[in-house]
Amino acid sequence: MRLVSTGVRVRRAAEASEPESEETTEPVHHEHSHAHEHHEHSHTEHHPGHDYNHMKEKFMNELSHLSLPMWAVGAIVVLVLVLVGCFIFCVFKKCFAKKKKPKKVRERKAGRRRKAQEGEGEPGEKEGEVKKEGAEEEKEQEKLGKLEYSLDYNFTDAQLIVGILQAQDLAAMDMGGTSDPYVKVFLLPDKKKKYETKVQRKNLCPVFNETFIFKIPYAELGGKTLVLQVFDFDRFSKHDMIGEIKIPMNSVDLGQPMQQWKDLESGEKEEQEKLGDICISLRYVPTAGKLTVNIMEAKNLKKMDVGGLSDPYVKIVLQQNGKRIKKKKTTVKKNTLNPYFNESFSFDVPFEQIQKVQVVLMVFDYDKLGSNDPIGGTFMGYGATGVGLRHWSDMLANPRRPVAQWHTLLPEDEVEAATKAKPR
């Protein structure tokens, strides 16, 4: 009985305790749900920071699982950033350029309108501008310098005597502020005979005192024009013209000698006249001291005769220190501008002298009645430059072998001046 009563008591106590526990557990559950709601609320309040931290942690976890090393990952990131930057720059440049184009077009149109308006200006303004330009040109011409010359005519011997005395205040043509002047003297329109003075080194007020004689009948003199051209000598390039004086002989009274100063005028830059080309073969045997020059052929020679042809021959001169050692010449080829010679000439030149000699070639037009007129020439050896120097060097580098080379003919005066000039 005691056991039964005890069991009943326990059961009642358990039943009584169940609602209490329910009551106690309900507020806890409520509190838990309230805390959960509070946590969710706080989560919604701190959402951006939480997302960033969450993404960062996730990214770092993913990186730790990758098999690539950290430096490779960094390189990939940098490359992606560079590509993105380039893309943005290209897009920006394109947009900027498109905006700028119409502006340039508008500026061009505006410039054209301004020019058109200026062109419709008063004629008096234009005349003033032309006068100013003319005055500036005159000033430039004055800066070229002036030349003193003399003229006389010998009626007994039918000779025109031209004196080149001196020059003053010549234009500086060289880098150092000086010039190396000389004067060319010839008659137009034939230009058959040309003279030139000696070169005066580094002198803007040179004294020449040189006289030149042209043999010409007085009756023919009236149709001629005397030309005095002042040049600046240049060893390695074409000589520059400083200025010139043209004197129509029909305007000069040659009854008595005359002497006067005249301002130099700017000369027209004429293209160098083509005189032709000549093919030469050189051969040197050092042991025998024998130099062989073969005149092979020439082409496109200048027309010297009335019929439009020439009677060419070649003169070969071996010289040293300006003195002629030996001279020879080919046969005359009649009525041709493309003669074929194939003639050889030998000279004795010891090995110790081969670097000191010059071989000068001059092509002439043969004339039965008058003097033979030079067409053009060239030279090789001591003091030569360009093709002449290269040909001579090739000959020395290939002893006992003939070396052929084409040479362009130069005017006689230029060849003479080049052979006399001291190499630098």
Lateral strand order in the sheet of 225-232: 194-196, 181-188, 225-232, 240-248
Least confident of 138-152, 222-236, 279-293: 138-152
The pLDDT assigned to 20 comes to 44
What is the pLDDT of the chain when averaged over all its residues? 78
Confidence of residue 246 (pLDDT cuts 50, 70, 90): very high
Confidence (pLDDT) at 378: 95
At 366-399, the pLDDT tens digits run: 988 778 889 999 999 998 888 888 899 999 999 9
The residue behind tokens 């070169």 is 199
Question: Which helix (DSSP H) or strand (DSSP E) does residue 138 occupy?
Answer: helix 123-142
**What pLDDT score does 341 carry?**
96
Average pLDDT over residues 137-166: 83
- By percentage, how much of the chain surpasses pLDDT 70? 69
Contacting residues for 284 by C-beta, under 8 A, at least 6 apart: 290, 291, 292, 349, 354, 395, 396, 399, 400
3-state secondary structure of 251: helix
pLDDT at 67: 63
What order do you get walking across the sheet with 258-263 strand by strand? Answer: 207-215, 159-168, 146-154, 258-263
**pLDDT surpasses 90 at 153:** yes
Locus of tokens 């409520």: 30
| Selection from 349, 335, 406, 413 nearest residue 381 by Cα | 349
pLDDT of the residue at 28: 41
User: Lowest mean pLDDT: which of 89-93, 106-110, 193-197, 224-228?
Assistant: 106-110
* Distance (Å, whole) CA 373 – CA 191: 10
Task: Identify the three-state secondary structure at position 400.
Answer: coil
CA distance 171 to 190: 29
In degrees, rounded to 5, the angle at the alpha carbon of residue 169 between the alpha carbons of residues 163 and 172 is 110
Q: How far apart are CA 414 and CA 405, in angstroms?
A: 20
Most confident of 194-198, 286-290, 308-312: 286-290
Q: What is the pLDDT of residue 190?
A: 73
What is the per-residue pLDDT for 416? Answer: 85
Q: For 54-72, how does the pLDDT look when each residue is reduced to its tens digit (9 = 90+)?
A: 776 776 676 666 666 777 7
Q: Give CA–CA dist 239/217, Å, rounded.
A: 33
Give me the pLDDT at residue 44, please: 45
| DSSP output for 326-367 | EEEE-----S-SS-EEEEEEEEE--GGGTTTEEEEEEEEE--
Asked if 373 contacts 362 with a C-beta cutoff of 8 angstroms, the reply is no
The least confident of 8-12, 27-31, 72-76, 327-331 is 27-31
pTM over 0.75, yes/no:
no
Q: How many CA atoms lie within 13 A of 272 on its CB side?
A: 13
- Is omega for the bond preceding 69 within 30 degrees of 0, making it cis? no
Answer yes or no: are the C-beta atoms of 293 and 333 closer than 8 Å.
Answer: no
Least confident residue range of 204-208, 277-281, 304-308, 380-384: 304-308
Q: How confident is the model at residue 308 (pLDDT cuts 50, 70, 90)?
A: confident
